[in-house]
Amino acid sequence: EFVTRKISYGAASIKLGLETKLALGNLDSKRDWGFAGDYVEAMWLMLQEDSPDDYVICTGETHSVREFCEVAFGHLGLSYEDHVEVDEKFFRPAEVDLLVGDYSKASSKLQWAPKTTFEQLVTMMVDADMALLEGRLKGLA
């Protein structure tokens, strides 16, 4: 289970009263999270090139799990601090604390850059999980 989806789904579940807490691991772990739609555009641009090449497709920004929680819960009018619990069983033994990419080659050769901001990505995910869970609840009524 990806932590991003765990957070968006967990926040939506809490907002709808289905859950009260969300257990996570290292809140200070940082990643370079981006929108799949932006990455598909980069792949399409690669396929338009005359010869294949290697590219790093990323946002070039890092955000912590804590930041993801802040945006996700904040989007729903909640404070993550009231609902997120750190559980050491979710810590990775060989955790890489910081992962960030450099898309400068894709920018210069493909004229590609990510369009979706971190905040937009998080709110899209939360909105999708809210819609999913609301649909399930309506189906139960």
The tens digit of pLDDT for each residue in 22-44 reads 999 999 999 999 999 999 999 99
Place of tokens 């990806």: 2
CB 112 within 8 A of CB 44: no
Is the C-alpha dihedral spanning 78, 85, 18, 36 positive or negative?
Answer: positive
Provide the pLDDT for residue 93. Answer: 80
Q: Where along the chain do its domains lie?
A: 3-140
Q: Give pLDDT tens digits for 6-23.
A: 999 999 999 999 999 999
> How big is the CA angle at 126 (ends 121 and 129), to the nearest 5 degrees?
125
Residue ranges for the chain with pLDDT beneath 50: none
User: Residue 71 contacts by C-beta under 8 Å, 6 or more apart in sequence?
Assistant: 118, 119, 122, 123
CA 98 – CA 2 distance, rounded (Å): 16
Q: Which two tokens stand for residue 102?
A: 């450099």
Give pTM, 2 decimals.
0.92
Q: What is the structure's pLDDT at 141?
A: 55
CATH number for the domain running over 3-140: 3.90.25.10
